Amino acid sequence: MRLAGVPWTLAAIVLGLFALILLVLTRIVAEAGLLFVQTPFIPTDLMAFWGTGYFTRSSAGATLLAQVVLMHDPREHVMPAMANAYAIAGMSRRRLPVTSAILLALLVGFCVSFVSSLWVNYRFGAITLDQYGPSMAPTWSLDRALQYAETPLQVDVGCIQGLTVGSVLAGVLLYLRAHLVAWPLGPIGLVMGSTYAMGRIWFAVFIGWLAKATVIRFGGLPGYRRALPFFLGLLMGEGIFGGGAAIWGMLTGVTAPQFLPN
């Protein structure tokens, strides 16, 4: 980012905020088991609360382009998945094989994704595919960069106050959750409630919570442990069906049922 015209201080703030956001997402996935997570903001959104007069054309363009690739839509970031994998591996004290498997999967995934993306885009035309990746997200980042550089935003006191109130409420919910056994609400719903992801999967999350609450209410901890294999089987069955349907669709040209939220 420095070679692209971004000052060291600005790059450090952006990367620091990004690392903090990923850490929070990892905790949310590990605690709630969410399949699909997003953030209601990205680093420059938070920084813009205090105005954007410090952005130049080069720094705004480079920063926003980096964000749209790495931070704008973190639904499939590997950090939460790696945290879960290491947690499972820690139970058997076999971390080295898990690390090797993760690195191999990342390498193969990057290579296959790179080749397949180029082939699909050139074979069918990127403009005819889903508009979010080839058009909407890049256009959004460039428009926002131009706004930051040409018509800088002023300090937004209302947004800063909202950020402060939300942080305090999340802290209160976290404290109550940790100190009161009967307290039913955690901070995850408050943090994730305004995101696109929750708009797509809120009902599935509710059904999962209702099933868990029912099992614990009538079966206690022993009932919860006995029910775990059943729910893990549901997850594995859906994953196997979704993957198998996708492979079958590739081989036959038949459109496969949608598996993940769009």
- Bin 260: left if φ > 0, else alpha if -120 < ψ < 50, else beta: beta
pTM, two decimals, is 0.77
* 78 and 137 fall within a common domain: yes
d(CA 25, CA 8): 26
Axis crossing angle, helix 137-150 with helix 57-70, rounded to the nearest 10 = 150
Residues 144, 64: Cα–Cα separation, whole Å: 8
Q: Which residue has the tokens 């901890």?
A: 221
d(CA 174, CA 171) in angstroms, rounded, equals 5
Are residue 206 and residue 166 in the same domain, yes or no? no
Give Dmax over CA atoms of the chain in angstroms.
62
Assess whether 118 and 241 both reside in one domain. Answer: no
Is residue 227 located within the same domain as residue 259?
yes
140 and 99 within one domain: yes
Contact (CB, 8 A) for 176 and 183 = yes
Please report how many Cα atoms fall inside a 13 Å half-sphere around the Cα of residue 22, on the Cβ side: 20
Residues 139 and 162 in one domain: no
- Taking only the tens of pLDDT, the chain with its 262 residues reads 666 667 888 888 888 888 888 888 888 888 887 878 888 778 888 888 888 877 877 888 888 887 877 777 777 778 877 877 777 776 666 667 778 888 898 899 889 989 988 998 888 888 787 777 778 877 888 888 888 888 888 888 888 888 899 889 999 998 998 888 778 788 888 888 888 888 888 888 889 889 988 998 898 889 989 998 998 898 888 888 888 888 888 788 777 777 776 6
Collapse the DSSP code of 239 into the 3-class scheme (helix H, G, I; strand E, B; otherwise coil) and give the result: helix
Distance CA 133, CA 137 (A): 6
Containing structural domain, residue 202: 195-262
Q: Is residue 173 located within the same domain as residue 205? A: no
125 shares a domain with 19 = yes
Tokens at residue 27, please?
A: 């905790």
Dist CA 37 CA 54 (whole Å): 31
Counted domains in the chain: 3
53 and 123: one domain? Answer: yes
Alpha-carbon gap, residue 231 to 215, rounded angstroms = 11
CB atoms under 10 Å from CB of 23, counted, come to: 13
Radius of gyration of the chain (CA): 22
